[in-house]
Structure 1
Amino acid sequence: MGEVLRINPFASLFAASLIVLAPVHAAAQTQQESTARQESVSVRDRDRPEYDAPGRRLGSFNLNAALDLAVTSTDNLFAAPDGAPSEVDDIIYSVAPNASLSSDWSRHAFAIDAGAVFRSHEDFSNEDADDHYVRATGRFDIGENTALRGTLRSSHQVTPRTDPDSPFIGAPVEYDRVDSGVGVTHRFARFTASLDANSSEYEYDGAQSFRDNEESALRGRLDVELSPRIGLLLAATVDERDYNNSPQFNSDGAAYMVGVSLNSDLMRGEVSVGQFERDYAGATGSFDGVAVEANVEWYITQLTTVTVDARRDADDQIGAFSGEPYITEEYGVRVDHELLRNVILTGSARFGNRDYETIAREDEYNEWEVGADYMLNPHAALRLRYQHDEVDSPAYRDYEVNQATLGLTLRL
């Protein structure tokens, strides 16, 4: 009975919002509209003045805010192994407010944003756990060609049950994370040089404190404009990872990349390849390999955008079932199609492999998602998603998770 009383207020709010915010009429799509739309912009980034949230003007700042309400049905709440007794379903209710305040100055820039996700489970209230964050970013323009920038972010996060090193029993794994960074960029002729220093600190709650760690990285990059449509990029990164309570997993890494940047009417993004190296303090030793980074948007038509990304690099994470380094290979594709001016269809697929270097374990995983976004008016939008996650790991656990989500976003 207590559980019902706990859920009903949220369900009532969600249902009432759907009734009150009746959809506005979507005008039929015409060839003239298609021709007039912005070119070389992804479907999701394109301006839609009749449906974009206007926000609020506060002096020389712009305020934007939203409240996302969602109901998710899952058939494997704990991402438990196939056929295990803990392979159970549940309904998850979430409320996610967020807001951002950004400057509108002719020089320099400053922005602050914050958000949270509050989750409530219908059957397993012990899984209730909240995320929240606050972030500040800034840019100081020294001159026309030189700028300093900085960022600071503090957050409280929950490790998903589908994480490769998260337990599928017990309480959710929660941790605090602080990220900071400073950088400088200078442009001269056809060259742009940048240097960034970043750090991240992870502090886990309770019995998971053995996973506490700190990461710091220094990255330099040079962009060469070969033509208005294509450029050459060179990048080098060195980093250090320190585990406070497990020093045997401390490591130093480096990556050296060369690639191209694309900025044409049909395609925009970057593709780079190179070499990574990682040396461990303990008996793990060192290893290296081919590094890959790619993210490209392809504007097949003004109504359809295909986004392709790829990554290959060294990872390590101390968790419930392993504390070993592995190489991640991951490839993804997403298609966004504007069916109507206010209706966007989306579909995505991702395939990956985690190859552990020091133990007999290899994880293969794939996930795909289909859905639609229906913009009712500038202040409200509906979201529908169906997601499938699957992992094949004989040394760890094989599992499948299916989720269906109905969401309503209210915007300022």
Structure 2
Amino acid sequence: MALLVAIGLPRLARSVLPDPLPPLPPATIQPRGKDGPQGMRVGTATLNATAEAGAGYDSNLFAQGRRNAVGDAFRTEALRARLDTDWRRDALSLEATVTDIGYASRHANNTTDYSVAAAGRWDATRELAFAGSYRHLRGHLSVSDPSAQALGVLLPVPFDTDEARASATWTVGGLTVKGEAAAASLRFGSAGGTSLASSNRDQAGIGVAAAYAFTPGNAVTLAASTDAIRQESRASRVYDGQAWQVVAGGSWTSDAVWRARASLGYLYRSFEGGGIKPLQGLAAEALLTWIPTRTTAVTLSARRGLDDLVRADPIPNIRNLVSLLLQHEATRELTLTGELRLERLELSQPRRRIEDAAAAIGLEWRFGRHLALLASYERSTRLGGYPGLPDFDRDFLSLRLRGGL
């Protein structure tokens, strides 16, 4: 169950740092056996689709200071459909989502977001596979984003992103080598007379990675990538540049109770504009999952890297993120979730720091195979910023009914 919906973080494109290993099995507790939706057969593929409708309340719609907070109730609807083939060789998947949010009195804050995506894999031989994907997203930049607050943006600003990726993976014995290329674009619209077109940009990069697995789930990895970033606006061309990353790490699994992944390396971001110091420093990522019982999972994750989020300005930063997620299936019908999240943004121009925190709880109560009631509450707060940037608290409550095939 996704939490922290009030401060959702839209991504443009992460640096092309390919992962040569298959992802760890998700720690998310899923409905057991025949309790969950099974999807619908469509030829040699399976169609999974869900629809949600609900309502909620946002206590600080404009993410302003504590004395100037303005709250409003809202209603929300969401649709999601995904088609996955189950061929013995090769694979193809198609996905589409749409989410509509409407407020009771602040109609200017209404948003409609959607995405379409396609991905495929061609198994040329038993050792060699090629894959590709494309994704288009229409989203809205939250007014709680520090870059939006710094510019005085009080309405969600629409944006469009397009991202395409292609990769080749070669596996022989315990050795896996993967190469990947990607290209992405970001284009802002306008809202309430506010335009962020000066932050439009394009990004393209390549990366290569290798891993050696000693046993299933236990491996060492080495990866490197480079990305070129170009701003569309001439006034922002000083922020054009190149990003580099080199990391080494590995994964570890023990008796299906403990799972861990970690990587450590170095990042560097240059600028073509004179007088701007390059961004450089530690790049790190870690994930530790503890599954003490079949119905409980605890996940601790941390990441430090270049800011890869959609922002209201073209200035890159370094983002540090730590989160703790607890999931527990109390009964076959009821799943409880709790999450703590700490985030620190290290600004490059000027040299400043912003620290935010959030806590969320949620539940999913399933009625039979196809219906579920979802409830969540989130509290987010700014722990530290800089003069001119409002400190704020925000409470976000949501209650939704979901139906699935």
Give the corresponding residue for 1:25: none
Give the corresponding residue for 1:51: 35
1:360 Cα offset (Å):
4.4
Give the corresponding residue for 2:365: 374
CA distance in 2, matches of 1:56, 1:229: 32
Unaligned runs of 5+ in 1: 1-39
CA distance in 1, matches of 2:70, 2:56: 14
Q: 5 Å matches for 1:274-313?
A: 274-282=265-273, 283-313=275-305
CA contact (8 A) 1:66 1:411 kept: yes
Structure 1 residue 251 and structure 2 residue 241: aligned?
Answer: yes
CA distance in 2, matches of 1:209, 1:169: 14
Give the corresponding residue for 1:399: 392
1:304 Cα offset (Å):
1.1
Aligned CA distance change for structure 1 residues 318 and 350 (closer, same or farther; 3 Å): closer
Structure 1 residue 123 and structure 2 residue 116: aligned?
Answer: no
Give the TM-score of the pair, scaled to structure 1.
0.86
CA contact (8 A) 1:43 1:338 kept: no
SS of corresponding position for 1:130: strand
CA distance in 2, matches of 1:292, 1:346: 26
CA distance in 1, matches of 2:61, 2:269: 35
Give the corresponding residue for 2:212: 224
Letter in 2 for 1:292: A
Give the corresponding residue for 2:323: 332
Moved more, 350-359 or 149-158: 350-359
Moved more, 330-339 or 45-54: 45-54
CA distance in 1, matches of 2:295, 2:181: 39
Percent identity, aligned pairs only, is 24
CA distance in 2, matches of 1:208, 1:93: 27
1:297 Cα offset (Å):
2.2
CA distance in 1, matches of 2:171, 2:54: 45
Structure 1 residue 61 and structure 2 residue 40: aligned?
Answer: no
CA contact (8 A) 1:316 1:323 kept: no
1:97-123 CA deviation, whole Å, 9 max, x = no partner?
A: 111111111100001010100111001
1:52 Cα offset (Å):
1.1
CA distance in 2, matches of 1:281, 1:370: 45
CA contact (8 A) 2:360 2:376 kept: yes
Give the corresponding residue for 1:215: 203
CA contact (8 A) 1:43 1:305 kept: yes
**Aligned match for 1:205, one of 189, 198, 219:** 189
1:316 Cα offset (Å):
7.3
Letter in 1 for 2:110: D
**Aligned match for 1:181, one of 144, 153, 165:** 165
Aligned CA distance change for structure 1 residues 200 and 78 (closer, same or farther; 3 Å): same
SS of corresponding position for 1:106: coil
Moved more, 380-389 or 349-358: 349-358
Give the corresponding residue for 1:27: none
CA contact (8 A) 1:42 1:297 kept: no
CA contact (8 A) 1:43 1:303 kept: no
CA contact (8 A) 2:198 2:314 kept: no
CA distance in 2, matches of 1:179, 1:65: 23
Pairwise CA RMSD: 1.8
Unaligned runs of 5+ in 2: 1-23
Give the corresponding residue for 2:307: 315
Letter in 1 for 2:98: A
CA distance in 1, matches of 2:202, 2:153: 26
1:163 Cα offset (Å):
1.5
1:323 Cα offset (Å):
4.8
1:269 Cα offset (Å):
4.1
Give the corresponding residue for 1:346: 337
Give the TM-score of the pair, scaled to structure 2.
0.87
CA distance in 2, matches of 1:42, 1:199: 27
- Count of matched residue pairs: 370
The one of the two structures with greater contact order (alpha-carbon pairs below 8 A, sep at least 6) is: 2
Moved more, 232-241 or 280-289: 280-289
